Amino acid sequence: MTQDFSFAGSSAQIVFGVGSRNKVAEWIAKVGCKRALVLATPHQKADAEALASEIGSLACGVFSGATMHTPVEVTEAAMKVVAETGADCVISLGGGSTTGLGKAIAYRTDLLQIVIPTTYAGSEVTPILGQTEGGRKTTVRDARILPEIVIYDPSLTLGLPVAMSVTSGLNAMAHAVEGLYARDRNPISSLMALEGLRAFARSLPVIVNDPKNAEARSDALYGAWLCGSVLGTVGMALHHKICHTLGGSFDTPHAETHAVMLPHTAAFNADAAAPELAEAAGIFGGSIGGGLWDFAKAIGAPLSLKEFGLTEADLDRAASVAVENPYWNPRPIDRESIRTLLQDAWEGRRPK
């Protein structure tokens, strides 16, 4: 096969290592900022306050109202604090929800973002922002949205609960699996995707038994960077579309929905993208769908959509919404095959 691709590396500065959170002040100063507003969810407020006090005079405040799906009202409240404090950069400490708020602020102000991720969602390395207004979710892609500096410190993930580690890890792995068959993939995105899948395949089973295992935590966060980078550079297909539909229309939990759907969407595309998925299938024992399902089961992931309270009538509606706007997928999509796929995922059946 001959190669045919275009490639643009990310401009983001990635800092990775145990203890790298202690370099935050150094990085604020290095980029010439003087007033950092620290962002977090209410759940991580104390961590954000501790970080602000460590940064000392370079911090101008804490806003701890970040929440799922980046509602515009929350962004507006945070924008008031940005104005009041005269912040010249934001520091997002947390998962995808907090990173989303930082991105929403940067999209409106072009303030510099430093992200310190504490989950494996991967939003910190993408130029994509999903926000909600009046219950409607819209997605924008813009250069201002890509965070300039990402500080990955595995020690901050030691306390990520096991169940969240599992679902967040599978959420990240879904970026890699879809990246492998993306139409606009390139050799680097595919290398990153496979390396990311390997990192999670070895680390998640260890984390389940030993959540404070430093090496496994480092490996998983490394996988999160790799898989998130794939999401940030190439287009996604059926899997992300269905998860977006389920989350948007039925408010199913983000990472958990990805975790349940991944084996099914991978199996759906397995034949159509067989050469692209061959190495990944090898990592999980030979069949991509069945192998991912066995892996998910072994690490205690949720396996059925039923667990989220969805009904079979919801599946009918979800199948219709998921095929409303045409999009590219390695295997052509029609309502009936999507409905069957959803039924399998709802029942928690092992795909082939």
The site for ligand NAD (CB under 6 A) is made up of 41, 43-44, 68-69, 94-98, 100, 118-119, 121-123, 126, 128-130, 157, 159-160, 168, 231, 254-255
Q: Residue 280 Cβ, how far from ligand NAD at the closest point, in Å?
A: 20
φ and ψ at residue 9, rounded to 5 degrees: -75, 155
Of the pair 213, 343, the CB lying nearest ligand NAD is at 213
Q: How far is CA 145 from CA 99, 101, 105, 148, in A?
A: 10, 10, 9, 9
- Strand order of the β-sheet with 149-152 is 13-16, 149-152, 112-117, 89-94, 36-39, 59-63
| 3-state SS assignment for residue 219 | helix
Of the pair 159, 282, the CB lying nearest ligand NAD is at 159
Q: What is the CA radius of gyration of the chain?
A: 20
Of the pair 231, 270, the CB lying nearest ligand NAD is at 231
Question: For residue 271, which amino acid is it?
Answer: D
φ and ψ at residue 33, rounded to 5 degrees: -95, 160
The residue number with the shortest CB distance to ligand NAD is 96
Of the pair 123, 287, the CB lying nearest ligand NAD is at 123
Of the pair 123, 190, the CB lying nearest ligand NAD is at 123
Q: Residue 121 Cβ, how far from ligand NAD at the closest point, in Å?
A: 4
Q: Residue 167 Cβ, how far from ligand NAD at the closest point, in Å?
A: 8
Closest Cα partner for 85 from 58, 54, 49, 60? 60
Cβ distance 222 to 176 under 8 Å?
no
Question: For residue 11, which amino acid is it?
Answer: S
β-pairing, 59-63 with 36-39?
A: parallel
Q: Residue 40 Cβ, how far from ligand NAD at the closest point, in Å?
A: 7
Q: Residue 65 Cβ, how far from ligand NAD at the closest point, in Å?
A: 11
Beta bridge partners of 139: 130
Q: Residue 69 Cβ, how far from ligand NAD at the closest point, in Å?
A: 5
Of the pair 33, 116, the CB lying nearest ligand NAD is at 116
Dist CA 82 CA 100 (whole Å): 16
Of the pair 37, 129, the CB lying nearest ligand NAD is at 129
DSSP sequence for 160-173: S-HHHHHHHHHHHH
Q: Residue 333 Cβ, how far from ligand NAD at the closest point, in Å?
A: 22
